[in-house]
C-alpha cells in the first residue's frame, strides 16, 4: 500500500489472485521452497522493524512524478513553481519530509508484501486441500489447517496495514507537511513582493538617470547649478541602490524557497505569482467559531488538557496550565485576525490609489503620444505609476498571507511562524 501525492490510498495486491483451480500447472518444489524462504525473510524483516515509524504519516510523492501546474512554463522551456503546488512539491522534493515519507512507505510495503505472500500460500494450500480431499484425507486436512492459519495471519497483516495508514498514525507527517507548506507560502509571498517592488525601483532608477542627464545638459549651458547636478546624481545613486537591494533580496528569497523544495538554489525556474486574496472568505471569517477550532487543534492546549494529574493539587495546577494555554492561543488568534483586518484596510487603500494612478497613467500615455512630454517627464510618470501598482500588489499579497496565517492558526499549525 502506498499513498500518492493527492493523499489517496492505493491498495496494491500484486500477484494475489490465488492459484487457478482445475487444470492448473502446479508450482515446482523449488518454487515452493523459494516462497517459504521469502516468507521467513519478510517475517524477520517485520520483527526487526517492529512497527517503527508507523506514526510518520501517509501521503507521499516519493516515487511518483508530480504532474501539476508547475509545468505551465513548458512552452518557453522554463519550469514555473505555482503557489497551489507547493505542498506536493515539498512532499516530492524536501529532503527531510521525503525521507520520512520513504521510510513510512517502506514499512507499509513490507507488511503488504508479507500479506501478499501469506494470501498466496493460503490459496495454494486451499487448492491442494480441495484436490486431495478424496484421495488423501489426512494430507487434505493438513493443508486446510495450515491454510486457515495463513488466512488468520493475512487478516492480522491487513489490520496492521490499516492501522499504520489510519488518520491517527498519519497525522504527524501531515502536520510536518502543513508547517513546511506554511513556510513555503511565506517565502513565495515575500519573494514576489520584493520582485514587484524591485521592478518599480528599476524604473525609478531609469527615470532618475534621465533626469540626471537632463540636469547635466542644462548645467552645460548654464541653466542649472552644480548643486542641481549633484542632487540629481544622488537621487540616481539612491534609486539604483534601492533597486539593487530589492533584487538581491528577491534572489535570496528565491534561493531559500528552492532549497526548501529540494531544488538547487540556482535552478532555472520561474516563481509564479501569489493568487489574489479571497475577499469573500476574508469577510466571512467567524472568529468565535474559529476560536473553538483553534483551541481544539493547538498543541499546547491539547498537551495541557491531556496532562496527567493525580490529586487535588495536581488537578488545580493542570487547570491553571490549561487556562493559560487557552488564553495564549486565543490571544494569538485574535492578534492574527486583527492583522487580517489591518491588511484588508491597507489593501483597499492601495487599490483606490492604484485606480487613480491608472487614470493618470492613461492621460500620461496620451500626452506622450501627442508629443507633449519630454522623455524624462514620461519616465517619471511611468515610474510613479509602477510604484503605485507595486504598492497595490504588495498589499494584495500581504492580505493573502495574513489570511493564510490566520487559517493555519485555526488548524493548529503555528510552529512554522514562531
Confidence grade of residue 64 (pLDDT, cut at 50, 70, 90) = very low
Q: What is the pLDDT of residues 118-172, one digit of tens each?
A: 888 888 888 888 888 888 888 888 888 888 888 888 787 777 777 767 666 677 7
Cα separation, 359 vs 39, in Å, equals 77
Q: What is the phi/psi pair of residue 55, to 5°?
A: -105, 20
Q: Are 194 and 363 in contact (CB under 8 A)?
A: no
Least confident piece of the model among 105-114, 209-218, 253-262, 345-354: 105-114
Query: What's the pLDDT tens digit per position in 15-50?
Result: 444 444 444 334 433 334 334 444 443 434 433 333
In 3-state terms, what secondary structure has residue 79?
Answer: strand
Greatest Cα pair distance in the chain: 122
Q: Write out the three cell numbers for 256.
A: 531559500
Closest to 383 (Cα-Cα) out of 207, 259, 242: 207
Count the alpha carbons within 13 Å of 117 in the hemisphere toward its beta carbon.
19
Q: Which of 411, 404, 192 is nearest to 277 (CA)?
A: 404
Query: Which residues are registered as beta bridge partners of 2?
Result: 10
Is the pLDDT higher at 132 or at 257?
Answer: 257
pLDDT bin (cut points 50, 70, 90) of residue 3 is very low
Amino acid at each position: 500500500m502506498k499513498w500518492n501525492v493527492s493523499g489517496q490510498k492505493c491498495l496494491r495486491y500484486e500477484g494475489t489472485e490465488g492459484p487457478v483451480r482445475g487444470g492448473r500447472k502446479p508450482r515446482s518444489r523449488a518454487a515452493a521452497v523459494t516462497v517459504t524462504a521469502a516468507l521467513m525473510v519478510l517475517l524477520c524483516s517485520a520483527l526487526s522493524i517492529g512497527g517503527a515509524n508507523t506514526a510518520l504519516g501517509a501521503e507521499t510523492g516519493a516515487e511518483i512524478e508530480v504532474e501539476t501546474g508547475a509545468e505551465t512554463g513548458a512552452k518557453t522551456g522554463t519550469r514555473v513553481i505555482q503557489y497551489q503546488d507547493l505542498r506536493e512539491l515539498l512532499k516530492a522534493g524536501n529532503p527531510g519530509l521525503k525521507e520520512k515519507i520513504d521510510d513510512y512507505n517502506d514499512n507499509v510495503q513490507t507488511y503488504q508484501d508479507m500479506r501478499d505472500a501469506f494470501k498466496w500460500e493460503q490459496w495454494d494450500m486451499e487448492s491442494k486441500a480441495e484436490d486431495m480431499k478424496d484421495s488423501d484425507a489426512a494430507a487434505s486436512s493438513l493443508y486446510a489447517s495450515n491454510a486457515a492459519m495463513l488466512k488468520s495471519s493475512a487478516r492480522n497483516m491487513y489490520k496492521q496495514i490499516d492501522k499504520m495508514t489510519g488518520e491517527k498514525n498519519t497525522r504527524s507527517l501531515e502536520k510536518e507537511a502543513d508547517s513546511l507548506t506554511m513556510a513555503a507560502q511565506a517565502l513565495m509571498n515575500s519573494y514576489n513582493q520584493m520582485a514587484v517592488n524591485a521592478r518599480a525601483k528599476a524604473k525609478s532608477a531609469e527615470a532618475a538617470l534621465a533626469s540626471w542627464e537632463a540636469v547635466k545638459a542644462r548645467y552645460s549651458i548654464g541653466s542649472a547649478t552644480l548643486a542641481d547636478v549633484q542632487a540629481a546624481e544622488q537621487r540616481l545613486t539612491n534609486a539604483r541602490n534601492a533597486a539593487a537591494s530589492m533584487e538581491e533580496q528577491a534572489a535570496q528569497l528565491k534561493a531559500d524557497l528552492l532549497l526548501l523544495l529540494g531544488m538547487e538554489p540556482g535552478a532555472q525556474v520561474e516563481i509564479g505569482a501569489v493568487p489574489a486574496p479571497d475577499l469573500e472568505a476574508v469577510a466571512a471569517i467567524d472568529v468565535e467559531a474559529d476560536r473553538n477550532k483553534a483551541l481544539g487543534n493547538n498543541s499546547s492546549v491539547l498537551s495541557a488538557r491531556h496532562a496527567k494529574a493525580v490529586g487535588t493539587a495536581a488537578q488545580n495546577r493542570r487547570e491553571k496550565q490549561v487556562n493559560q494555554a487557552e488564553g495564549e492561543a486565543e490571544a494569538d488568534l485574535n492578534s492574527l485576525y486583527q492583522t487580517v483586518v489591518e491588511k484588508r484596510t491597507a489593501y483597499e487603500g492601495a487599490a483606490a490609489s492604484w485606480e487613480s494612478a491608472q487614470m493618470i497613467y492613461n492621460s500620461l500615455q496620451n500626452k506622450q503620444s501627442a508629443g507633449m512630454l519630454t522623455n524624462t517627464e514620461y519616465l517619471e510618470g511611468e515610474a510613479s505609476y509602477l510604484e503605485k501598482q507595486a504598492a497595490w500588489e504588495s498589499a494584495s499579497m500581504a492580505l493573502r498571507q495574513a489570511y493564510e496565517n490566520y487559517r493555519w492558526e485555526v488548524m493548529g499549525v503555528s510552529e512554522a511562524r514562531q
